[in-house]
A and B are shown apart, each in its own frame.
Chain A
Amino acid sequence: MSKVVQAINRYKADLREFEFLLFEQFNLRTDILASDLYEAWGEDEIRTSLAECYRFVKEVTGPLNAIGDAEGCKIVDGRIKTPTGFKNAWNKLYEAGWRGISVKPEFGGAGAPYAIMVMVEELLSGSNTAFAMYPGLCAGAAEVMMHFATDEQKALFVIRMIKGEWGGTMCLTEPSAGSDVGSSRTTARPLGDGTYAIAGTKIYISGGDHDLAENVIHLVLARVDGAPAGTKGLTLFIVPRIRPNAEGLLGEFNDVSVGAIEHKMGINGSATCVVNFGENGQCIGTPVGGDARLNQGMSQMFVMMNGARIAVGIQGVAVASSAYLNALDYAKDRKQGSSIANWKDATAPRVAIIEHADVRRMLIDMKARVEGCRALAIKLAYHQDMAIILKGKDDEASAYHIGQVDLLVPLVKAYSSDQAFRVCETAIQVYGGAGYTRDYPVEQSCRDSKIFSIYEGTNHIQAMDLVGRKLGQRGGANTQAFIGDVAKFVAAHSEHPRIGGAVKQLAAAQEALAGSAMKLLYWFQAGKVQQVPLQANRFLEMMSEVAVGWLLLEQAVIAHTKLPDVAEGHPDHAFYTGKLFAAEYYAHNVLPGVAFKASLLDNENTSAIDIPDAAFATV
């Protein structure tokens, strides 16, 4: 039996980081807030919102994190019962309005820049990943409908989902259609009145049912009878659990039932469901956008997919960041061993473990990775905001920003999620044995974070998206622009008095990366395509490291400029000093690995492919 878990918040965030990114590294003030799109938003509103949202998650969602993990979800009388307190938190969240921060005012949101929403997502996910999944997926489903649904569908569904009156899910995966979505078997039979009879089974559906809202709206990928095979024949259907009438009053049960829930390694408070549609032939759905949108399911999904993939990257940053800050607290508090300077003296005073070199190495490693991944996510969000602002005003500039969003999405999703698991693992190592117990929060962080590299497209899918699609997009213009941005920074700062040496590491890494990009191209052209999937993950990691190293060094340049004007006792002094050291650490301890990895690509070793199946093991 699991012991009784107390409702205590252990989530920590550093809001100074957020403000630095928004107002010092990225010019939110001049580039984004000045736009008439964001008239209602000023610096004050942003600071107050982030501070208030942080307070909200510490008091409402954070205390439920360990409870949700210990209790998990249950099926009671065919319905999902979420952990203690989740329903109350759901109500409070929608009352407070945080989930709608970037939703357009016409749908009931506050219309904030995307970058602000990314930060709110970090707070929600970091404080309680499992809980945040329910409103997160609801928002994703609503977003797809905002883009493609008919006006009637928007009025009926979207408004209620934004208010949290109804929940929402995305139903893609099936037992035989995981990464290969095109193999979906769920069917839709036209009933002649614009509605369809849906039949099939979906698995791994997060929040596939729950008791948080009075209805759950599923977006279900299904194949209309006679539609083409593969992804081209998939249509996205709106399938409510309970059928509403046109005024939104709930009527009959729509034959949507939960078959089972998964018992998982982490995010236990999030119900991962097997959902059966039309077991009794009574499940009715309508295509998102009506019959005019038949067979467009995949492209509709992709609108949400970018957002969902970014959100997973944020989940990684969020959980890893809190694990780091908790480990840091513990390291300052826990006394063990004496300073190495007194290594011969058995009676030397015990010191806090933060004084030990290896603990410091782990702490700065976590700091650099967390802050770097966050910078990358906010850079992406900044591009997204700029693309929206410049649309119709300067199409060339807007296209540049959209291109950077496309290019960075797989990096944010895959690199942040991979790093998250590793940072959490390092956090446990800082705690030692204590970190392996449930008395401290980091083992849950570690278990929760593993899914990030798997769902919303595994990290290998992200890597293949990067090398197969994104690198060559717009004739390679996006990639060239990215490399150009890094090169501009290198040229400007390689003789920097403090971090010039670190910038030269970036230059070397970038050169190696460019070489590896050419290598990939060569493999495509020279009929060595099998090399590509073998090295794609490694290439994604290399490119992410260049991006993260660049952004950390950019932070260091800013910090270096500002430091002389900040008094030594001022908290900003420590903050900027931290930025300098984190960037230097990353540049000298991570970036040199990029050239090394490039040399591994050059080896063109194919052991993994050539080894016979039977040779893997004799059992």
Chain B
Amino acid sequence: MKILVPLKRVADPDNANKVKVTAGKLDTTGMQWKPNPFDEYAVETALRLTENGASTKVRLGEVIVLTVGPKEAETQLRGALATGADRAIRIDATDDDLDGDVVARAIRAVVEKEKPDLILVGKQAVDGDSNQVGQLLAEYLGWPQATFAGTIKSEGDTALLVGREVDGGTLTLRVTLPAVVSVDLRIVAPTSVSSKHSPTHTYADGVRFAALMAIMAAKKKPMVEFKLSELVSDAAAKIAYTTHELPPPRKAGIKVKDVAELVDKLRNEARVV
């Protein structure tokens, strides 16, 4: 099975320096970057689907990671290669020029070249929380989609049983391949993924570590670059941001004299009772 995993880099939420806004634009100078966690889960899922769990070194399928972004975003691709992905594609672009729609169209162009059996995406990126790319991509490709997957069970190479996390429980869908599946947090629980190669293997919880030797070997794995304009004729984003602003700082608390004042404030200022 050939699996394509789009991967976005996001500003590390643990950054000591918080995101700033300069003249209505997001200022990312000095930010530390890391892969979007949901995309890491998608990579982990793809690896589990393309290996025999008992012997993770033997590859029984191919995992291609892809990002749309500047040269520095190759660091995140190399990271995915170090955990086991086979090769990487970077579509060169500036973050400011992108929206979910351009990204989906760019990925579609790669899909037409690569013809993967499955596209695994994170359900959303933790920076913009847009939750669009997977759905748009499925629509552009005319492929079936299953979003918010918490479990995936392979049915040979032709279909997947996807347990979708929905309000009130799990909705299981059978999607025929090729398809787009977006994954949620619980997809990296020890037994969430059962591939045809190792239907019953129990994995360590979460995303695997990159072993030192794999980090060293990742350098030698193929990484190709496309220009955005080579892939999409109209690279204009559909969403234009007029401005950005930070949420207002929290006001300091106040002390109230008595219960009566508290009730009064809750009713008339906060309007919560």
Contacts and interface: CB of A to CB of B under 8 A. Distances in A.
A95 B211 contact: yes
- Greatest chain A CB density within 10 A among B20, B79, B213, B215 is at B215
A16 to B, nearest CB: 9
B23 to A, nearest CB: 13
Interface string A41-71: 0101101110011011001100000000000
A113 to B, nearest CB: 13
Contacts of A60: 209
A100 interface: yes
B30 A45 contact: no
A569 B212 contact: no
A262 interface: no
B211 A45 contact: no
A52 B209 contact: yes
Nearest to B16: A571
Interface in A290-326: none
B105 interface: no
B219 A45 contact: yes
A47 B75 CA distance: 10
Interface in A567-600: 567, 569-572
B30 A48 contact: no
Contact of B216 (A45, A53, A567): A45
Contacts of B219: 40, 42, 44-45
Given A92-B209, A96-B209, A569 B20 contact: yes
Nearest to B206: A59
A100 B212 contact: yes
Residue from the set A48, A53, A92 with the largest chain B CB neighbour count within 10 Å: A48
Contact of B29 (A42, A53, A110, A569): A569
A52 B27 contact: no
B16 A96 contact: no
Contact of A96 (B17, B75, B211, B216): B211
B82 interface: yes
Interface in B185-216: 209-213, 215-216
B16 A52 contact: no
B215 A45 contact: yes
A47 B216 CA distance: 12
Given A44-B219, A97-B213, 20 more contacts: A40-B219, A42-B219, A44-B75, A45-B215, A45-B219, A47-B75, A48-B82, A49-B212, A49-B215, A52-B209, A52-B215, A56-B209, A96-B212, A97-B212, A101-B212, A110-B212, A569-B30, A570-B29, A571-B16, A572-B30
9 contacts: A48-B215, A52-B79, A52-B82, A59-B209, A92-B209, A96-B209, A100-B212, A110-B216, A570-B29
Interface of A: 40, 42, 44-45, 47-49, 52-53, 55-56, 59-60, 92, 95-98, 100-101, 110, 567, 569-572
